[in-house]
Amino acid sequence: MTTVTQIPPTAAAPAERRSARLVTEVLAPANLVIGVLLVIGWHSTDSLAGAGWGLLAGAFCGGLPIAYIVAGVRRGRWTDKHLKVRSQRWTPLFVTLGSVLVGTGLLLALDAPREVVALVAAMIAGLVLTMAVTVWWKVSVHTAVASGVAVVITVAYGWWAALLFLGVAAVGWSRVSLRDHTTAQVIVGTVLGGTAAAVVFAGLR
């Protein structure tokens, strides 16, 4: 029997809930993954060719996984595309990991720019950490990805990009406001994603 993590009820106003839903949907993991790969792809070569590498990586790291999840929701395998039920996360997470690994192999075989490969490696590290915690706790994938993206862009473009952490805070607020996660779950997700990005991306680029 599957259960959803019980989170204390809050009296979020309808307008607040709509705002939280908008943030959750716009800054969803798949959107951020594809977006940051395009940005770093461009940064790696300062050309459309680099963006093309980012698009290729984005197909395997974001596009195919979310397509699989949405198809599963339509077939009734999972309750929603954000996978609120922790026990329903395993198959999508493993499929995502497999897709990312295949994409990594393709990028290496085609001699993709080092920065793009480093970013995908950081995504693998973050995904593995998230899966490890998911064994017993529903850590926030939204904040893990958002934090990782903020760190990656800050490393690539400089400290001014640290302003993106305001977006990470907004994502965390939205997940708690919607009662999809506790405050602790969004904080731990932020730490996991940011750490993976800081160590792996910065170390390999």
pLDDT in tens, 81-126: 999 898 999 999 999 999 999 999 999 999 999 999 999 999 999 9
10 is a domain residue: no
197 is a domain residue: yes
pLDDT band at 13 (very low <50, low <70, confident <90, very high): confident
In percent, the amount of the chain with pLDDT more than 90 equals 88
For the chain, what is the mean pLDDT? 93
Closest CA to 40 of 141, 95, 134, 118: 118
3 is a domain residue: no
- Domain hosting 100: range is 15-204
Buried b vs exposed e over 80-110: b needs ≥16 C-beta within 10 Å?
ebbbbebebbeebbeebbebbeebbeebeee
120 is a domain residue: yes
CB atoms within 10 A of CB 10: 11
6 is a domain residue: no
4 is a domain residue: no
pLDDT above 80 for 24 = yes
pLDDT above 80 for 11 = no
Q: Is the dihedral of CA 13, 16, 20, 26 positive or negative?
A: positive
**pLDDT at 15 (0 to 100):** 87
6 vs 202, higher pLDDT = 202
161 is a domain residue: yes
Q: How many domains does the chain have?
A: 1
| 2 vs 84: CA distance, rounded Å | 11
Which residue is it, tokens 């990782």? 148
**pLDDT at 5 (0 to 100):** 53
pTM: 0.89
Q: Which ranges in the chain belong to alpha helices (H)?
A: 14-26, 29-45, 48-58, 64-74, 90-109, 114-134, 141-157, 165-177, 183-196, 202-204
Length of the chain measured in residues = 205
| 97 vs 131: CA distance, rounded Å | 10
Structural contact between residues 185 and 138, judged by C-beta atoms closer than 8 angstroms: yes
